[in-house]
Amino acid sequence: MLLSLPKLGAWEQKMTVSIRRAEETDTETLLPLFLEMQHHYEGAAAIDAETARPRLLAALKPQPGRAILGAFEDEALGLACLYELFPGPDMHPAWLLKELYVAASARGRRIGEALLREAARLALAEGGARLDLTTAGDNEAAQRFYARVGMTPIAKVYYRSEGAALLDLAEDRG
Q: Which span out of 18-22, 84-88, 152-156 was modeled with the highest average pLDDT?
A: 152-156
Give long-range contacts, CB 8 A cutoff, 24+ apart: 36-42.
36/103, 36/104, 37/79, 37/99, 37/101, 40/101, 40/104
pLDDT tens-digit readout, 8-50: 555 446 678 888 888 889 999 999 998 998 888 888 888 899 9
| Structural domain count, the chain | 1
Decide: 18 and 76 in contact? Cβ < 8 Å: no
The enclosing domain of 76 has a CATH number of 3.40.630.30
Domain that holds residue 147: 2-170
Decide: 28 and 50 in contact? Cβ < 8 Å: no
Q: Cα angle vertex 66, ends 141, 113, to 5°?
A: 30
Residue with the larger pLDDT of the pair 87 and 83: 83
Report the pLDDT averaged over residues 96-114: 95
Decide: 111 and 78 in contact? Cβ < 8 Å: yes
Query: What per-residue confidence (pLDDT) applies to 15?
Result: 74
